[in-house]
Amino acid sequence: MFASLSSLDPMPNYEPSPLLPIGDKKFLSVEYPGVVRRTKRAIKTLGGEKALARSLALNSHVDLWYRPEDTFSHPIHGDVIPTSKLLVKVTRRIKRNKLTGEIEADSKWDTEVVGNVTHAVRFRAMADLQHLVPKNDPIRQLREAMDVGNVETMLNYEPTKGEDALGDLHNIPPPMFSARMTVTDYGYRQNLPVLRVKVKQPDGSYKIGLINRDRRAALELTQVKFDVENIPTQSWQLIKKAVDPVINKAIELVGELFEQRPIWTRYAIRCVLEPKYSKHLIKALANHAYTFTNGPWRDTWVKYGVDPRKNVEYHKYQILDARRFHDSESKTNKYTGIKSVMMYKRRDASNESVNLTNKHIFDGHSTPGPSSMYQLCDITDPEITPLLYNKNYLQEEANVHSGYYYQCVFDRIRRYTREKQVHLVKEKKPLRIPDAEKGLMNEVEQEKQKKEYEKINQTTAEKAVAEAQAEMAKPGSSQRLKEVVDEYIEGLEESKSGDKPEYLVGDDDGDDDSDLDLIDTLEEYDEDFDVFNEDDENEMIEDEENQGENMNIDE
């Protein structure tokens, strides 16, 4: 292949340039952002020739480490881009006079086109800030010990504690200081909800200040999960004393309601109090009660010091979620899925004229309110109340799913309440369910038997695990443990065919989760052989009212 440095139609007064051959070699050009004095060291900062070849083959970025021996060095990212260039080698002979020491350069220059430069590495990204960690720093010693696997140094490491830790700003250096690699226009502008206001000073003068119209009040709620050991006896938050007399009155009225009844829903209190107190209920409730985030009393407010999990009498305060279905033929709403109370919140919060008196009570005859969440004590339908207060339907201990009720009983209460609610909305008349308790006692007995079977299975599994642990404590226990596991798996296979061994007594219709728990437990003690695989509402606070451009705030 040849290239001509002259044009196809040379001018008559010039000699045509010679044709130069182009070599077949292909080269990678690196636009190194620095002065290169030692080529090998420069290539080492790029990860070596293998790293460059891999980046070229995969068309991935190249990392430049100015301090490759420092583990805390932050790299500069370079991109591999295709180019169409030629690599030209230009040489000239130089002679040195031995007598005078002068250099005599030959006037002739040799030019050679070595080959094509097909790709180039360019570093256009900004360099990240560098953090120089001293060699005697404990963090550096820990990092280097982790790289080489020095267990003793890792065990002896202790982070800085006490007052000394406040000044130790490089205790844990971040992996990256800046997330931006290219220069961009930040485009800073003032936050739109922030307004300039005049703030009155003690001497009577005014000073310009800034306020944020989107600022939301901090929630002062005390929330616990169902499985928490101790319930709060007072608020866990530092509640500020209210200045507004309306808020103080709401706090007083809510306190009187909790004296009448220990557990309420916020919606029920809204239905009892005047509408002007609705937007202050969050603060009023936080002064008197805490709330559960899950379980049978989820989203209810429980008086401080009251634990509904320890007394079966609190079963009537459990929450019932009877979500509402809307008519698909409605012209105003084509939504056919579940409609919950959340879809009513913003409308009701802004429209205090909605009459919610006694809407938290479901009697089976009146039109239901906007909420689909009821406390069982607020369900007064005479066809459902026999399901609520029959002691045969209650358990001694509450669980996270159905509370004090058996699951079959709670499911029936929810199903009948939902059917009645939907019928009232669609047909505008009550639905009759004459025999709501039919066959319920049989379901309760079956559920009791199932629980007994599960208890037996759990006891059997715990006993088997105890035996496995005892065998593991003995010398040469691996073989014995394998026999126990094989015997247990064989028993599981027999149970699938219908013939259960005596230690696998359980409900045929249920899932033997205890068997799986036992197998998972035995995995922890299997050390010498591989038997198993080793691979498990709070309503939004209302926005503050928009304030004008020139408003006065007196401090």
Q: Which of 280, 259, 261 is nearest to 270 (CA)?
A: 280
Residue 488: the pLDDT is 64
Q: Is 77 helix (H, G, I), strand (E, B) or coil?
A: strand
The CB-based long-range contact list for 169-178 (8 Å cut-off, 24+ gap) reads: 170/131, 170/133, 170/137, 170/139, 171/139, 172/139, 173/72, 173/131, 173/133, 173/139, 174/131, 176/74, 176/128, 177/74, 177/128, 177/129, 177/131, 178/126, 178/128, 178/129
Tell me which CATH code domain 25-122 carries: 3.30.200.160
Separate counts of helices (H) and strands (E) for the chain: 14, 18
Tokens of 542: 């209302």
| Cα–Cα dist 266/284, whole Å | 10
DSSP 248: H
Backbone angles phi, psi at 150, to 5 degrees: -85, 95
Residue 537: the pLDDT is 39
Residue 289: the pLDDT is 95
Q: Are 344 and 356 in contact (CB under 8 A)?
A: no
Chain centroid offset of residue 406 CA: 33
> End-to-end distance of the chain based on CA atoms, in angstroms?
86
What are 381-418's pLDDT values in tens digits? 999 999 999 999 999 999 999 999 999 999 999 999 99
The CB-based long-range contact list for 225-230 (8 Å cut-off, 24+ gap) reads: 225/292, 225/293, 225/294, 225/295, 226/292, 226/294, 226/295, 226/296, 226/297, 226/298, 226/309, 226/400, 227/400
Residue 171: the pLDDT is 61
Tokens of 113: 């086109």
Residue 519: the pLDDT is 37
Beta carbons within 8 Å of 114's beta carbon, 6+ residues apart: 23, 25, 27, 87, 88, 89
Q: Is 399 helix (H, G, I), strand (E, B) or coil?
A: strand
76, 179, 185, 376 from 182: Cα distances, Å:
11, 9, 10, 61
Per-residue pLDDT of the chain (555 residues; tens, 9 = 90+): 555 544 455 566 778 877 888 888 999 999 999 999 999 999 999 999 999 999 999 988 899 998 888 888 888 889 999 999 999 999 988 888 777 778 877 778 888 899 999 999 999 888 888 888 888 887 888 888 888 888 888 888 877 676 666 666 656 677 778 877 777 787 877 777 888 888 888 888 999 888 887 766 667 889 999 999 899 999 988 888 888 899 999 999 999 999 999 999 999 999 999 989 988 899 899 999 999 999 999 999 999 999 999 999 999 999 998 875 444 334 444 433 334 433 444 444 444 456 788 888 998 888 888 888 899 999 999 999 999 999 999 999 999 999 999 999 999 999 999 999 989 988 888 899 888 888 999 999 999 899 888 888 878 877 776 776 676 667 666 666 666 666 765 665 555 444 444 444 444 444 443 343 333 333 333 333 333 333 333 433 333 343 333 333 333
Residue 532: the pLDDT is 32
Q: Is 289 helix (H, G, I), strand (E, B) or coil?
A: strand
Q: Are 115 and 22 in contact (CB under 8 A)?
A: yes
Q: Are 122 and 81 in contact (CB under 8 A)?
A: yes
